[in-house]
Each structure stands twice: as structure tokens, then as C-alpha cells.
Amino acid sequence: MEISTLAMYHCLSFVWYFFVSYSITQVKTEERPSEVFLYGGQWKYLTVLNLVLQAVFYGVSFLADVLRLIKKLRCAKCIISSRDLLFGVLAFPVSTFVSISFWTLYTYNRELVYPKSLDGVIPLWLNHAMHTAVLPFAVLEILATPHRYPTKKNGLILLGFVAFLYISWVLWIYSVTGEWVYPLFALFSPAGLAAFFAGSLAVIISFYNFGEFLNRMIW
């Protein structure tokens, strides 16, 4: 793909994710269902954090494209390194995890992750923008441009650290409010919850490996 075309694609993707991120912040708190509590705002949900992550990634990607177009290759090299790290370690595995885990649990019992009462607050298009579109966007990015992955050890350490931060955030919210971010967590004993978190980490690591495999096979 030519750099100019790639720049347009990354620009439009950035605008899209910025728009979706802004749209979710405009959901009126007074219309929220009773089971959705205020503490932590929208920032307690992995889905919303992923939207911000994707917006940042596509913003960085667009900047890298622009620098290449204007022949600022030294600066572009540094930005491209950041772009590749963001995509390989976070943007691809997190978006894939969000989409697949959400729809798997939604199909099993939607009340565990997305209560039916939310249908009256969050439009259908916004639900699919947050939970469905993120996956084809991630796959399209792999097809559009090659990415240089870090060493497996460094990549997994960074991914594990980010997962640890989010789990710590979830546990902190529970310690303060006595409420779980997702109703699903209330079904587990402490040992069961630890096993669930460990299993989720294993799944997201598998998505990291899958993204690296696809990138290597295509490019």
C-alpha cells in the first residue's frame, strides 16, 4: 500500500476511534441502569480503555505516515518503532480479546457482561463499534502494513504488566465500592477469580502470538 493511501487509512481510523470514544463519554449518567455504578466512570471498562488505545495507535500511525511523506525519516523511524510496539503488544491482542471474549460471554449469558437494560442507553451501532468493529480493524491493519515485533520476552513482559495494572484497577474498584466492574466476577470464589484472570491472561497471550504469526506469514 502506498504511503499516501496508508496515511489516509490511518487518519480515517483515528477519526473513527476518536468519534466512538467521544460518543461513549456522552452517554448520560442519569440514564444508566441501576446495576451500573458511577465509581471509575467509563474508565473501569476494558472496552472503553481499548477504544482510547486504538485512537492513540492510529494517531501515532498517521504521524509516522506523515513524517515519511515529508521525508523526515529520522523522526519517522522513532515513531514507527513506537507504532509497532503499540500494535504488536497491545492494540492487536487487546482488541481481539475484547471482541471475542465479549461476544462469547454475550452469547452464553449477556447479563454477565452487558445487561439488557443497557440497550436503552447505548445505541446498537455504538455497541458494535466498541465490540465488533475492533476486530476487523485489527486484522486489516496487519494486512495493510508490516510491523516489527519486540523480542518475545520483552513483548510478553509489557503485555503482562498492562494486564496486571488493569486487574489491579478492577480489584481496587471492588475494594472501594463492593461492586464488580462486570457481574460475571461475582460468580467466582477468590480462587476461582484468580484462575479466571490467569486464564484470561493466557488467552490474550495467545492472541499476541497469533498476531505475530499473521504478521510474519503475510510480510
Q: Are 193 and 199 in contact (CB under 8 A)?
A: no
Assign 217 a pLDDT band (cuts: 50, 70, 90).
Answer: very high
Nearest to 162 by CA among 13, 49, 39: 49
In angstroms, rounded to a whole number, what is the distance separating the alpha carbons of residues 131 and 114? 11
List pLDDT tens digits, range 162-216: 999 999 999 999 999 888 999 899 999 999 999 999 999 999 999 999 999 999 9
List pLDDT tens digits, range 36-94: 656 778 889 999 999 999 999 999 999 999 998 887 777 888 899 999 999 999 999 99
Residue where the block lists cell 445505541: 123
Q: Give the sign of the dihedral formed by CA 211, CA 107, CA 117, CA 183.
A: negative
Please tell me the pTM assigned to this model.
Answer: 0.92
- Determine the residue type at 94: V
Residue where the block lists cell 515519511: 68
- Determine the residue type at 45: Y
List pLDDT tens digits, range 104-147: 999 999 988 888 888 888 889 999 999 999 999 999 999 999 99
CB atoms within 10 A of CB 73: 10
Q: Are 139 and 13 in contact (CB under 8 A)?
A: no
> What DSSP character marks residue 170?
H
